[in-house]
């Protein structure tokens, strides 16, 4: 199953996002997956530049199982032009991720994107959390 996730908006828009703790992020998620970034491609889109991140999913903790999904995040680099968007992580091939998704998008803009080393998850403005704790929170 393939999922496409999009965070597109006007380049001039200002977005204010309230900080959520892990329990709030998990409560809002309708799908939680663990996977590895397998491809990163930036392109021009209406309003600026976006980056499509393909994630090979190897574990679904909540929701509909998927083997692969694509995140579309604002920002990136195309033909020497760079668009940096505050709060959007720089994802690279090989990064392992824990994703909390709500309506096929990361919870609360990008707060639902965590890096993981298999033992701990590292989220935006979050203290590292043990993956065992994440699994307990989800169940």
Q: Do the domain assignments include residue 61?
A: yes
Q: Do the domain assignments include residue 14?
A: no
Average pLDDT estimate for 75-97: 92
Q: What is the CATH number of the domain that holds 40?
A: 2.40.50
Total of domains in the chain: 1
Hey, is 25 helix, strand or coil? helix
pLDDT greater at residue 121 or residue 2: 121
At residue 110, the pLDDT reads 85
Cβ-defined contacts of 131-135 (< 8 Å, 24+):
131/98, 134/22, 134/26, 134/61, 134/98, 135/61
At residue 2, the pLDDT reads 44
Q: Structure tokens of 58?
A: 């190897």
Task: For 68-90, give the DSSP string.
Answer: EEEEEEE-EEETTEEE--TT---
At residue 130, the pLDDT reads 93
Contact indicator for 132, 55 with CB cutoff of 8 Å: no
pLDDT beyond 80 at 71: yes
Q: Do the domain assignments include residue 13?
A: no
At residue 87, the pLDDT reads 83
**How confident is residue 80, by pLDDT bands cut at 50, 70 and 90?**
very high
Q: Do the domain assignments include residue 59?
A: yes
At residue 19, the pLDDT reads 79
pLDDT greater at residue 16 or residue 125: 125
Average pLDDT estimate for 105-120: 91
Q: Do the domain assignments include residue 132?
A: yes
Q: Do the domain assignments include residue 15?
A: no
Q: Do the domain assignments include residue 12?
A: no
Residues of the domain holding 87: 2-7+20-138
pLDDT beyond 60 at 37: yes
pLDDT beyond 90 at 49: yes
pLDDT beyond 90 at 42: yes
Q: Do the domain assignments include residue 66?
A: yes
**How confident is residue 8, by pLDDT bands cut at 50, 70 and 90?**
very low
């Amino acid at each position: 199953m393939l999922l496409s996730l999009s965070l597109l908006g006007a380049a001039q828009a200002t977005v204010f996002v309230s900080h959520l703790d892990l329990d709030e992020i998990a409560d809002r998620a309708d799908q939680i997956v663990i996977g590895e970034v397998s491809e990163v491609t930036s392109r021009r889109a209406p309003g600026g530049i976006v980056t499509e991140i393909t994630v090979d999913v190897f574990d679904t903790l909540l929701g509909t199982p998927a083997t692969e999904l694509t995140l579309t995040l604002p920002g990136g680099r195309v033909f020497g032009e760079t668009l940096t968007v505050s709060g959007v992580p720089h994802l690279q091939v090989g990064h392992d991720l824990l994703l909390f998704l709500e309506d096929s998008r990361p919870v609360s803009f990008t707060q639902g994107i965590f890096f993981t080393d298999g033992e701990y998850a590292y989220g935006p403005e979050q203290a590292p959390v043990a993956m065992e704790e994440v699994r307990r929170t989800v169940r």
